[in-house]
Amino acid sequence: MARPVRKWEQFPGRNRFFCDGRIMMARKMGIFYFTVTLIVGTTTLFFVFDCQFLAQRITPVIPVVGGVLFVFVMAALLRTSFSDPGVIPRATADEAADIERQIVPSNASSSPTYRPPPRTREVTVRGQPVKLKYCFTCKLFRPPRASHCSICDNCVDRFDHHCPWVGNCVGKRNYRYFYMFIVSLAFLCVFIFACVMTHLILLTKDDRQFLDAMKESPASVIEGVICFFSIWSILGLSGFHTYLVSSNQTTNEDIKGSFTGKRSEEAFNPYGQGNVVSNCLDVLCGPTYPSLIDRRGLVTVAEPAAAARGAADQADARPGRSYGAVRSGQPKGAPANQVVPLPDRKEVYVERGDF
């Protein structure tokens, strides 16, 4: 009997999966490993060479605070790195063909003066016109605020950016954890740097020169150098994303100037909630949306066949790329391995509040 094949094993994007599809990351993870090594290594040096001295000379609360910050930083980092950022399923062969029929009339090829229409659609969000762009890779019109990540080769809902430091895209489903990560990391860097400098200053009070104190605790010097050169970029990144959260924007939207009036004097952010507090609550405390891709679902016999039919039109087609199934849309009583076609994509995003 053949082994059941999970959908993550035939996922069309450039991602890596671990723990039978439970963990989803980008394919390039070298910088992520460097991030983990830098954080764990610096914190380990701090606990081994500084905490005992500071606990005896100042207060035993210092190791506790350092431990809490370290655990919070690592939890937020791993939650950001190991999760689905909000990948939008690619269109099935039938969905792609239906969209193509809507875009290109059947008599287009017979007309010598025919020009293909622009592959965009326009919707209105709170009175503001928003263009939905067609993705030639995923064969669908991307919903508002979504964009295609060229590194992971996926369309991501509320795409912010691809972050190599966390080894994943940052989107609708993991942005709040990314924000918690960079803010808590800023606190951890400031805390360790302050403790290291305090340690060295206290050593100089024992009738030692500052150079002698550095020689006595070289690990503290290493920690101080790492934190000093890291803290500026981390604080700047935390401040920038705090601005984005307070204005309910993404990095992608801010870089493009989507709501700054550069393209139109009447442009405004239709996703803003009216004030800073409401924007922060909406971004950081809003509902956690379920994943749209059923990574651990079983591949059925019909799926590879549908992918094979669409291979002629999609050069990068792979077996099992029929990914138009949503786990949350599984009807009651349906078999576990039955694939339910994705409902009209606009209806899905209307229900989720994107329109």
- Positions marked catalytic: 163
Residue 215: how many other CB atoms lie within 10 Å: 12
Q: What is the DSSP string of 105-116?
A: -TTTTT-TT--P
Long-range contacts of 146-152 (CB under 8 A, 24+ apart): 146/88, 147/252, 151/14, 151/26, 151/28, 152/13, 152/14, 152/15, 152/26, 152/27, 152/87
* Contact criterion met (CB below 8 Å) for 247 and 269: yes
Cα separation, 212 vs 190, whole angstroms: 24
The CA distance from 53 to 306, in Å, is 66
Report which of 36, 35, 34, 48 is spatially closest to residue 222, judged by C-alpha positions: 48
Asked if 269 and 220 touch (Cβ cutoff 8 Å), the reply is: no
